């Protein structure tokens, strides 16, 4: 967390060294903080969303003003996401995976030294580097206030991901905390969004901005492995008559997209 804040501070200083009245500025830049919720749209019958997840974002916000009423909002944000999953009641059997130490294994990498875990529910936490690209349409100032709407994309690149699973290990309740699941989440995700908010020019060229936005995920969150060979790269599998029983395990990957509602507050100079 400290290294993300340090990076933001350095970039923010570079962009905010010049000041002039907010209405006349060609570039406004500063810090942004945000929080919200996310909803998974499931694309597999084997896993369900297990309630809403939480989002937190911190970063640098920049607005390039083409005119008094039109601008481009971008920046660098670090997004901290929490996703919640559980095996579906419509799945053909129990959901399992193999692990070794704190690594969840691809099915093809499991061996006699691996441990078997029956999945009950999962919290998947991830960190993304996000670059928003949003067109901004504003009113003029009414006193110290002006209002705006934004439309565009939030493109994100995966930096880190961990999972915490509740389930059964050797028939006993257990927790696999802060485990790594290799090649589960895709490196890139994108969402199209719309937001609205207000800007308060409370001192000189300094403004406080609040906006509420909805972002619709247009790319899958998880890697897609559909071929017979590719399926062995999945970690999750179903066995409906006892693990490695008479029927071969059915390997699958989690499939979902993500929608988000976020409230963000920025201070721009």
For the stretch 176-195, pLDDT in tens is 999 999 889 999 999 999 99
Tell me if 117 is assigned to some domain.
yes
User: Is 170 exposed, middle or buried, given 0-12, 13-18 or 19+ CB atoms closer than 10 A?
Assistant: exposed
User: Is 172 exposed, middle or buried, given 0-12, 13-18 or 19+ CB atoms closer than 10 A?
Assistant: exposed
3-state secondary structure at position 189: strand
Per-position DSSP letters for 16-72, written without gaps between them: TS----GGG-SEEEEEEEEEEEEEEEE--SSEEE-S-EEEEEEEEEEEEESSSSEEE
Q: Find the domain containing 206 and state its range.
A: 2-263
**pLDDT value of position 227:** 52
* Cβ within 8 Å of residue 172, ≥6 positions away: none
What region, left, alpha or beta, does residue 240 occupy, with left being phi > 0 and alpha being psi -120 to 50 degrees?
alpha
For the stretch 146-174, pLDDT in tens is 999 999 999 999 999 999 999 999 999 99
Cβ proximity of 230 and 261 under 8 Å: no
Tell me if 245 is assigned to some domain.
yes
Tell me if 268 is assigned to some domain.
no
Q: How many domains does the chain have?
A: 1
Q: Is the pLDDT of residue 65 over 60?
A: yes
Tell me if 207 is assigned to some domain.
yes
Q: How many CA within 13 A on the CB side of residue 144?
A: 10
3-state secondary structure at position 250: strand
Whole-structure pTM value: 0.87
Sign of CA dihedral 207, 70, 217, 160: negative
């Amino acid at each position: 967390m400290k290294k993300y804040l340090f990076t933001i501070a350095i970039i923010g200083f570079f962009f905010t060294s010049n000041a002039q009245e907010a209405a006349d500025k060609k570039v406004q830049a500063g810090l942004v903080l945000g929080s919200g919720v996310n909803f998974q749209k499931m694309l597999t019958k084997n896993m369900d969303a297990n309630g809403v997840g939480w989002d937190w974002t911190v970063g640098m916000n920049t607005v390039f003003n083409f005119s008094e009423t039109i601008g481009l909002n971008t920046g660098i944000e670090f997004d901290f996401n929490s996703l919640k999953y559980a095996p579906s009641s419509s799945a053909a059997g129990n959901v399992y995976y193999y692990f070794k130490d704190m690594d969840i294994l691809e099915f093809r990498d499991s061996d006699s030294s691996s441990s078997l875990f029956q999945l009950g529910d999962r919290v998947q936490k991830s960190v993304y580097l996000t670059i928003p690209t949003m067109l901004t349409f504003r009113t003029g100032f009414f006193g110290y206030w002006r209002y705006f709407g934004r439309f565009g994309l939030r493109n994100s690149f995966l930096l880190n991901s961990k999972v915490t699973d509740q389930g059964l290990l050797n028939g006993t309740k257990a927790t696999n905390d802060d485990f790594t699941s290799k090649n589960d989440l895709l490196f890139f995700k994108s969402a199209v969004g719309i937001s609205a908010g207000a800007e308060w020019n409370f001192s000189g060229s300094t403004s406080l901005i609040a906006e509420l936005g909805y972002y619709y995920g247009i790319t899958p969150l998880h890697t897609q492995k559909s071929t017979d060979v590719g399926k062995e790269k999945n970690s999750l599998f179903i066995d409906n008559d006892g693990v490695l029983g008479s029927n071969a395990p059915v390997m699958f990957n989690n499939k979902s997209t993500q929608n988000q509602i976020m409230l963000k507050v920025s201070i721009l100079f």
